Amino acid sequence: MARKTPVRGQMAVLHPMRIRADALPLADRMFNLWTLTALMLAFAAVLIAPAFAQDAAPEKPGVISILLEWTPTLAKGFGFNVLISILSMAIGTAMGVVLGVLQVSPLRPVRSIAWLVTQFFRNSPWLVLLFYCILLIPFQIEVFGTTIPFPGWIKAVLGLSLPVMAYMSEYMRGAILSIPTGQWESAESLGFSRRQIMTDVILPQTVKRVLPSWMNLYAVLTMATPLVSIIGVNDVMALTRAALSAEGRVDLLIPMYLYILSWFFIYCYPISAVTRLLERKYSVKL
Amino acid sequence: MTWTPDQPIVSLRDVHKSFGTVEVLRGITLDVMKGEVICIIGPSGSGKSTLIRCINALNDIQSGSITVEGLEVNDPKLDKLSLRKKVGMVFQQYNLFPHKTVLQNVMMAPIKVLRQNRAEVEARARKLIAKVRLEGKEDAYPGELSGGQQQRVAIARSLAMNPDVMLFDEVTAALDPETVKEVLTTIKDLAADGMTCILVTHEMGFAREIADCVYFTDRGVIVESGPPATFFDNAQDPRTQQFLSQIL
């Protein structure tokens, strides 16, 4: 550290305060060898420990072989969770962007209603919203003689998209208001209409600002998808319960739920890691 | 009312403007003829910026009248677009669109607002970029340019709408002394081409050189005005004299 060596006659210099600690590169943070290894060892230990216990009763198959046996079924369920999360996110984002734009409408009634809708859904428990959607939406809708069925999982998608919409609406409102007013003024003086300013100037600039929060929201949503098992959708959670009751073994409970937890972790952790990376990248420059 | 070129292109009559209880403009009257260059100077907070923002209807006024080519700016029924086609404005903070390249910044308004042919607009945009001496920067993003370069892009972007009047709101105030010159040269070129320019500026040397008429505002009124030679060397009002003695 050359800087620390005192030099004769050197004056004390007040270095500018470091506002933020230097961030580690993404790879170091995400795939830190030690944390990951420790995590994997912990998982392995929990999974294997009961398996050793089973040796006392050799006629029963081991825990690991049972997990592997159920893996294709559970994977289908997990795929369903992912599908539900993606659809809810898409619908919720689309509605949320519109609602967020309405929240900054120059028309007071529009602004107030958009605000009310946002606050209502943002402050409702997700599970209650899910139940509400299940009860509110009919099993099927008849349009011009054709029957359009509404299976439970579609209702679940709609139910989960409501809180996504509300959060997205708030993110959008914040991002729109964070764009300097000079952007509005210069676009206005070039003759753009309000709608054009919004779509051509303001909204494209909000993408960067909203992206980290949006991805974080997606991770949270994915972790909330097992809620749909409560309303009778055959997601990974429902299938896990079914598998457990089919096996009828108490010693399977903890390993199997841990197994599912690790799936969610492996799916969601990279998303939150990339989110942190984006947050750092975009927080530097305005 | 139809406007003819022998009438003032911009005309303000007894304009009053308040923000809440603060009266910013207290009876401004001034006329600008086509092709004229006028500079508005004065201490900060004297209403200079508000004055030119009112001309562009970015701020509304409480009483009085502002006309641009016969269009009553403060008329609630006014089609703002017809006004904005005539008046271009350049801001202190450039306000370029950061997500668009230089070329896209210049092309955007003519295509989206005037719905002009893309190829024609592009040819014109490239000429304008060359005119503000930024050839080769067409595909750069504003963030990659210096302040002076950004400000020249902002000027080109405004010119792309073919305005009849250009408003400059302290366009060099955020620039360092070296880059001020390149922006001023661009404005000088414009003025030489016959563009009607209204400038709010702190560059006295520039005002003296370029202006046909200099207006000094203080506390919301025009204290004194005149051609630069008489204004700068022979100011009558004590407030003008005091202001000039402080900055010259």
Q: Mutate which of A184, A189, A208, A286 to disrupt the B interface (most B C-beta within 10 Å)?
A: A189
Q: Say yes or no for a CB contact (<8 Å) between B91 and A191.
A: no
The owner of tokens 């641009």 is: B68
Contact B221, B46 (CB under 8 A): no
Residues of A in contact with B157 (CB under 8 A): 190
Q: How large is the average pLDDT for residues B8-18?
A: 94
Is B2 among the domain residues? no
Comparing B79 with A286, the larger pLDDT belongs to B79
Is B189 among the domain residues? yes
As a dihedral over the C-alpha atoms of residue A16, residue A20, residue A26, residue A30, rounded to 10 degrees, the angle is 140
A89 burial (CB, 10 Å; 0-12 / 13-18 / 19+) is: buried
Nearest chain A alpha carbon to B91: A186
pLDDT value of residue A224: 95
pLDDT value of residue B55: 94
The one-letter code for the residue type at A79 is: G
pLDDT value of residue B245: 87
CA-nearest of A182, A165, A180, A176 to A207 is A176
pLDDT value of residue A23: 59
pLDDT value of residue A57: 54
Residues 6+ apart with CB under 8 A from B131: B156, B159, B186, B189
CA distance A35 to chain B (A): 39
pLDDT value of residue A151: 85
Mean pLDDT in each 10-residue stretch from start to end of chain A (286 residues)? Answer: 51 59 59 69 69 57 86 93 96 97 96 97 94 83 79 91 97 96 95 95 94 94 94 91 90 90 91 86 60
Nearest chain A alpha carbon to B162: A190
Which residues form the domain of B66?
Answer: 10-247
Please name the residues between 147 and 206 in chain A that touch chain B, using a CB distance below 8 Å: 180, 182-183, 185-193, 196, 200-201, 204-205
Comparing B174 with B117, the larger pLDDT belongs to B117
Under the banding of pLDDT at 50, 70 and 90, the label for residue B72 is: very high
pLDDT tens column, B145-192: 999 999 999 999 999 999 999 999 999 888 888 888 889 999 999 999
Residues 6+ apart with CB under 8 A from B55: B10, B12, B66, B68, B73, B87, B165, B167, B198
Domain count, chain B: 1
Comparing A62 with B82, the larger pLDDT belongs to B82
pLDDT value of residue A1: 42
What CATH number has the domain bearing residue B15? 3.40.50.300
For the structural domain made of A63-284, what CATH number should be given? 1.10.3720.10
Classify the C-alpha dihedral B193-B198-B203-B208 as positive or negative. Answer: positive
Residue B73: pLDDT above 60?
yes
pLDDT value of residue B235: 86
Mean pLDDT of all residues belonging to chain B: 92
Residues of B in contact with A185 (CB under 8 A): 58, 91, 95
Instruction: Domain ranges for chain A, please list them.
Output: 63-284
pLDDT value of residue A2: 46
The owner of tokens 């107030």 is: A112
Classify the C-alpha dihedral A273-A274-A276-A281 as positive or negative. Answer: positive
